[in-house]
Chains A and B, each alone.
Chain A
Amino acid sequence: MSVSTTVTDEADRSPSERVDVCVVGAGPAGALAAYSLAERGHDVVILEAGPRFSFEDRLRRMERFLRPAYDWLDVWEMGGDRDAYASTGELHYPLNTTRIKGIGGTTLHWLGLVPRYHEKDFEMESRYGIGEDWPISYDDLRPYYAEVEREMGVAGAEDNPFEPPRESPFPMDAFPPSYADSLFGEACEALDIAMHSTPQARNSETYDGRSQCVGYGTCAPACPSGAKYTAEVHVAKAEAEGARVIDRAPVQRLAHDDSGGRLEAVEYATPDGETHRQEARQVVLACGAIETPRLLLLSESDRYPDGLANSSGAVGRYLMEHPFAGTDGLLLDETRQNHVGFITSECHQFYDHEESTPGSLKLEFINNAEPSPVEIALGDGSWGDDLVGAIRRESGNSLRIGALVEQLPREENRVQLDTSRTDDHGNPVPDVVWSVGDHAIETMRYAQRIQRRILDEMGARITGQTDPHTPGAARHPMGTTRMGSDPETSVVDARLRTHDLENLTIASSSVFPTGGAMNPTLTIGALSLLAAEYVDEDL
């Protein structure tokens, strides 16, 4: 099966004349910032390490996901020397399953859930004496949340009694609950646990020229219909406003002026082996929570021997994730899994807690609790009538309740450089050091007690639970160039501008001082729009 990226080797990848803004990274943060700035009339160049993927190949990428000859990394061509990394923490961090390099970035493979953070997420130290306060509040971000919901196209309903205040309806109606949700619903009602819809960046109707969801069931990692939002949308809009995109152009380092107070240029490599300098008045780093601190560390200089913008020593530190705690069960009755590729109901009832620990958790009622028929058929090794028997044995009755769980920022969780190994351009690879911590472990245990109560109420047989000491990551890395008012302890200020360099802004989950337990992309988008406004002011 041939799946090729759009080959743009003939493309001109030489730098533009000094531009207003150079955006590094074409994921959601970079795309939204670039669009916002280009729309305001600024000259913008976007540098993206990965390729521009053809939309026409998307069904073939879905096939790669469904066929066992391929793995998750094959779908979007991750891995190899370009993406080499180390993981030396207590827990292995599967970095390359968390990200995609290419136009659209990680939204190419994301599920697309976009809840807002709650007010408490911005006030952890004030409210509970743990974590950090953000230098901005929910109210500060609120208009940007509304704007990014419109930009992405979010389907949702105002049926969530625990949601923070909002000013306008969602742009699209929510997706109705699934049949499996109705099974959970009876038990939750008996236990006074509220279920509600899930905001998602997926079209429940035609929106912004993109298709309604048609139910391929493979949203993560590939939506062939285009109903799921990807940042390709805003890269295209930025280009329509005059922005220039240079793909397959991994940035090697950032070069500052003699004073060390301003960036002069962004140095990037191209497939022909050349290295170029893109000069810019303002630079926006939008490479996610791993590559952003790595690039700053790689950009060390005599002026900044510990890495650029790292006077605080916080670059790379305080890495957070959302540990995923799940409980699996079996019912005697059919549960109708895998008829849709996304979650349709959640519960935020246990998010705003009274005591510091257990912390926030978000329950997710899963619609894909078991392997699908085609996955079993292609992996089982049987055929004919034996295969039908295998599919019926392995599927049909499963249930799963998941939980995203809050993890506190811990200095020892970090991204650092592994100088013993280099990538395809000779740069030290990122070493991701990740462990869970007692707060998250206790919160996971609490989540699993709730999950067990629901499954018990349903009469399900519980078949497995995540070990809270070795959870999987929800693939939401955050917190490695954190935002704060104090230059001694943080990397960027409330404007998302680095304390050290006056024309360097960071738009990424890396600026989150705390991580909450909500999927982070809507907040990333809101911060990007906020950052773009400040960059615009400075131009």
Chain B
Amino acid sequence: MELSRRDAIAALAAVGIGTGGVALYRSDVFDDGSTDGEATLDDPVDTMIALATVVYPSEVSGIDEFVETYVVGRVEDDETHERRTVQALTHLEGYASDEFGDSFVDLSPDERDAVLRDLGIQSARPNPDGSDVERIRYYLVNELLYALFTSPTGGELVGHENPPGHGGGLDSYQRGPDA
């Protein structure tokens, strides 16, 4: 299943963001990647892409462009979301550096998975105002999953080409599984 920029635009639409046909670049946002002196975050988008390679199912491809388009669009015009996303990424990066001795981006997929499990993401409550771990679940892991599963391609992964959150029209609900 290949994610496309169209999927990213659909996912952005599901959070109320229209791209208006304007191509945004990572340099347009995330102008200061480090916060609180906890760790240095070279590139928030690269870290989100690295996280998506773990969080997204293995049969998904086209992750880089999808995540970049979505994440950049998501934080444009939303400084609070940008700041909190960077804070959560910084905490993730700090844990990777402290416990695994390397930047999250440079860890192997298994090591990235281990970072999430060690942090307890699987049982953390997604809470935008919660602890560092709860914010990682909300702003990073669930953010990526929300983007994926409100996009047509993400829905198709589980047999659902018009998932809730995506305004995909009135045909799919009338179709059977073999249509």
Residues of A within 8 A of B (CB): 1-2, 56-60, 62-63, 66-69, 175-179, 182, 213-218, 224-225, 333-334, 336, 338-341, 344, 367, 372-375, 377-378, 381-385, 387-388, 391-392, 395-396
**A60 and B16 within 8 A (CB):** yes
Q: How far is the CA of A97 from the CA of B173 in the complex (A)?
A: 27
Chain B residues whose CB sits within 8 angstroms of the CB of A395 once the complex forms? 158
B157 interfacial contact with A, CB 8 Å: yes
B91 interfacial contact with A, CB 8 Å: no
Q: How far is the CA of A2 from the CA of B158 in the complex (A)?
A: 30
Leading 9 A-B pairs by shortest Cβ distance: A59-B16, A339-B173, A217-B164, A340-B173, A214-B167, A374-B149, A334-B177, A381-B122, A383-B55
**Which residue of chain A has the shortest Cβ distance to B166 in the bound complex?**
A216
Chain B residues whose CB sits within 8 angstroms of the CB of A339 once the complex forms? 160, 162, 172-173, 175
Question: In the complex, which of the residues B15, B127, B158, B177 contacts A391, with contact meaning CB atoms closer than 8 Å?
Answer: B158
Q: How far is the CA of A296 from the CA of B150 in the complex (A)?
A: 46
**B15 and A59 within 8 A (CB):** yes
B27 interfacial contact with A, CB 8 Å: no
**B173 and A179 within 8 A (CB):** yes
13 residue pairs bridging A and B, Cβ less than 8 Å apart = A58-B16, A176-B170, A214-B168, A215-B166, A215-B170, A333-B177, A336-B173, A338-B164, A373-B149, A374-B145, A378-B149, A388-B57, A396-B158
Chain A residues whose CB sits within 8 angstroms of the CB of B94 once the complex forms? none
Q: How far is the CA of A179 from the CA of B176 in the complex (A)?
A: 6
**B157 and A66 within 8 A (CB):** no
Q: How far is the CA of A378 from the CA of B13 in the complex (A)?
A: 18
Chain A residues whose CB sits within 8 angstroms of the CB of B15 once the complex forms? 1, 59-60, 63
A69-B142, A218-B165 given; name 9 further pairs at CB < 8 Å: A2-B81, A66-B165, A178-B173, A217-B162, A333-B177, A334-B177, A372-B163, A374-B150, A395-B158
**B162 and A63 within 8 A (CB):** no
Chain B residues whose CB sits within 8 angstroms of the CB of A391 once the complex forms? 158
Chain A residues whose CB sits within 8 angstroms of the CB of B170 once the complex forms? 175-176, 213-215, 340
**B167 and A373 within 8 A (CB):** no
- Say how far A374's CB is from chain B's closest CB, in angstroms: 4
- Say how far B138's CB is from chain A's closest CB, in angstroms: 6
- Say how far A54's CB is from chain B's closest CB, in angstroms: 11
**Which residue of chain A has the shortest Cβ distance to B172 in the bound complex?**
A339
B141 interfacial contact with A, CB 8 Å: yes
Question: In the complex, which of the residues A372, A382, A385, A396 contacts B58, with contact meaning CB atoms closer than 8 Å?
Answer: A385
Q: How far is the CA of A59 from the CA of B116 in the complex (A)?
A: 29
**B122 and A382 within 8 A (CB):** yes
